[in-house]
A and B are shown apart, each in its own frame.
Chain A
Amino acid sequence: MNDAVADLRPVVEARNVSKIFLTGTHEVKALDSVSLTAVRGECLAIVGESGSGKTTFANMLLGIYPPSTGEFFLDGELLPARRTLPLRRSIQFVQQNPLSSLNPRRMVGASLRLALNVHEIGDRPGRKARIGALLEEVGLPADFAHRYPSALSGGQRQRVAIARALACEPEVLVLDEPTSALDVLVQARVLKLLDELRQRRNLTYVFITHDLGVVRNIADRVAVFERGRLVEQAPTETIFEQPANAYTRSLIGAIPVITDDEEALRRKVMEETSAG
């Protein structure tokens, strides 16, 4: 975690963002006037259960589809519905399942090269060295560039997906459940990598997950979504030590834990629920 977040201007800002989906006969309000900011170098976690609107929020931040009402800002500039190339480059995406987010017919190096080509990063001869350096930055040997995703393990694939996002030299990474499909030992290593990258590159993370154990240890701040509404946001420690919202408390109370200390914390949170 970042102890000192030096630059307090928001890198990402969502102002009264709503999204309504039309499903034939009726409207579904997936997101209901959400306002959120993340400052430079910060890891903002968005937690909530399925249907809470966290992925809808991510998709709109990425410009995959526009909000029904409200705006997004990057470094104080309004993000248009149709993103220009430099804007797309600034906000990058790491998805849950690298097996479906990486092109199976393309070698790892080619996937990274595509990102460099599209955004015209570096000159042609320099790109090969850059691909090697990116792979090494995420803890993979440079010669993995000549492998297909199918020849990699789940953790290695997710590292490639992270390298692909970094290839664009973004300011913001949107991570949608980046470690949920991984085994716990692999998850710990990938989380460590993400934390190191954020500090080294001063990246801003919008970290979407349902795993509160992960959130506790990687996020600076937490936003809790429930059925499209932002019900609580606070620094990570506050969310876990003094959650103000009943839904937040029920989420914490439902986590399966493995130590007595965690169980005590959970019990404390739940008792406050029944008392309040």
Chain B
Amino acid sequence: MNDYLLDIRDLKLAFKNYAGLVEVLHGISLNVRRGEKVALVGESGSGKSVTARIILGLLQELKSARISGSVHFEGQDLEALALRTRLALRGTKISMIFQDPTSSLNPVYTIGVQFNEVLRRGNPDISERDAEARAVALLKDVSIPEPERVLVSYPFQLSGGMNQRVMIAMALANEPSLLIADEPGTALDVTVQAQTLHLMRDLVERRGTSVLFISHNLGVVREFADRVYVIYKGRLVEHGETAELFHRPRHPYTRALMAAVPRITGGGIPTISETDAGFTDPMIDHGVAS
């Protein structure tokens, strides 16, 4: 037994197509403790988003997906759960925030209607009036001015930043123990992204929500996460506490990734070697002080 809220062991994923099996994840193991913010960082195609989808059980529905390994959530093996039980976790104990808030919200319903739906999922007996009062309170938590006006608005009437705040409020509405954030705010302007990120961090810290934070942006990860896993082509290559990993990256891939980010202090355009030598070296684990 351990105290991990989320514990993924040797997760493998392949897609079957006409040419055979395409391996996407080559056995990744990661965990998230209660109240911890853990980042999974990598480039496009590295397998970070599919990992999130497997946790939610979204990929299992695909006929072409071949999945092995285990995902334990609150000590339960998710694969062993009955489908109904597993589905019931979505939007209640596990919730997710996606990259583009405006396209994640339904354009033909008002925010109020969609919020009500979210709240009813957590508590089917909630009255309309209670739901509205709760929605207003939650929107206030994410610093939305005039929450009553936002509730009667459609997503396209609000700015991207506002929609992102609405998404955060909805994701936290049923007090999930795990929040999966897949590239949150990447579609937003930097100033708005910074604001919503700080807001999300404050909220999850206050409520003790665990977060699995998926991103390609090293800067955002450094500001948000307690601990970081680096993923490259379906393999974890480095793991450590955020400060340690950013101060002393050891894996050739992590080093290349960090070297490639142009610095605002200058120093010229980074020179990146054309080879990927060492990128598939075994994983380096910095360990975690407990």
Question: Which residues of A pack against B, CB within 8 Å?
Answer: 1, 49-50, 154, 183-185, 187-189, 191-192, 195, 210-214, 216-218, 237, 240, 250-259, 261-262, 265-266
Q: Which residues of B contact A257 (CB under 8 A)?
A: 219, 222, 263-264
**8 Å CB contact of A213 from B193, B258, B263:** B263
A266 touches B264 (CB 8 A): yes
A96-B194 Cα distance, complex, nearest whole Å:
23
B43 touches A216 (CB 8 A): no
A188-B193 Cα distance, complex, nearest whole Å:
23
A sample of 14 inter-chain contacts (CB < 8 A) reads A1-B268, A50-B189, A184-B43, A187-B260, A188-B270, A189-B274, A191-B262, A216-B262, A217-B270, A240-B265, A256-B194, A259-B265, A262-B264, A266-B264
Q: Is B289 interfacial (CB-CB < 8 Å)?
A: no
B54-91: CB near A (< 8 Å → 1, else 0) gives 00000000000000000000000000000000000000
A230-B103 Cα distance, complex, nearest whole Å:
31
B262 touches A210 (CB 8 A): no
B263 touches A216 (CB 8 A): yes
B189 touches A188 (CB 8 A): no
Please name the 3 residue pairs, one residue from A and one from B, whose CB atoms are nearest each other, closest first: A256-B219, A49-B189, A254-B194
B217 touches A213 (CB 8 A): no
A216 touches B266 (CB 8 A): yes
Known contacts A183-B43, A184-B216, A185-B43, A256 near B223 by CB under 8 Å: yes
Q: Which residues of B contact A188 (CB under 8 A)?
A: 259-260, 262, 269-272
**Chain A interface mostly:** helix
Which residue of B is nearest A211, CB measured?
B262
**8 Å CB contact of A183 from B192, B216, B268, B274:** B216
Q: Is B20 interfacial (CB-CB < 8 Å)?
A: no
A185 touches B264 (CB 8 A): no
B218 touches A185 (CB 8 A): no
B194 touches A218 (CB 8 A): no
Which residue of A is nearest B259, CB measured?
A188
**Contacts between the two chains (Cβ within 8 Å), count:** 109
Chain B residues 245-290 with CB under 8 Å of chain A are 246, 256-272, 274
What is the distance, in angstroms, from B168's C-beta to the closest C-beta of chain A? 18
Q: Is B2 interfacial (CB-CB < 8 Å)?
A: no
A265-B272 Cα distance, complex, nearest whole Å:
25
Given contacts A191-B262, A237-B266, 15 further A-B contacts (CB under 8 A): A49-B190, A154-B44, A183-B44, A188-B262, A188-B270, A188-B271, A192-B271, A212-B264, A213-B262, A253-B194, A254-B190, A256-B193, A257-B219, A258-B219, A258-B258
Q: Which residues of B contact A191 (CB under 8 A)?
A: 262, 269
Q: Which residues of A contact B195 (CB under 8 A)?
A: 254
What is the distance, in angstroms, from A102's C-beta to the closest C-beta of chain B? 19
B264 touches A252 (CB 8 A): yes
What is the distance, in angstroms, from A121's C-beta to the closest C-beta of chain B? 29
Q: Which residues of B contact A259 (CB under 8 A)?
A: 246, 263, 265
What is the distance, in angstroms, from A207's C-beta to the closest C-beta of chain B? 12
Q: Is B17 interfacial (CB-CB < 8 Å)?
A: no
A215-B189 Cα distance, complex, nearest whole Å:
16
Which residue of A is nearest B253, CB measured?
A185
Q: Is B220 interfacial (CB-CB < 8 Å)?
A: yes
What is the distance, in angstroms, from A85's C-beta to the closest C-beta of chain B? 34
A255 touches B190 (CB 8 A): yes
Q: Which residues of A contact B264 (CB under 8 A)?
A: 212-213, 216, 240, 252, 255, 257, 262, 265-266
**8 Å CB contact of A184 from B189, B193, B246, B260:** B260
Which residue of A is nearest B187, CB measured?
A50
Q: Which residues of A contact B43 (CB under 8 A)?
A: 183-185
A154-B43 Cα distance, complex, nearest whole Å:
12
A253-B190 Cα distance, complex, nearest whole Å:
9
What is the distance, in angstroms, from A114's C-beta to the closest C-beta of chain B? 30
Which residue of B is nearest A265, CB measured?
B265
Q: Which residues of A contact B256 (CB under 8 A)?
A: 185
**8 Å CB contact of B265 from A50, A183, A261:** A261
Q: Which residues of B contact A217 (CB under 8 A)?
A: 262-263, 266-270
**8 Å CB contact of A185 from B260, B263, B265:** B260
Known contacts A254-B194, A258-B219, A213 near B261 by CB under 8 Å: yes
A254 touches B191 (CB 8 A): yes
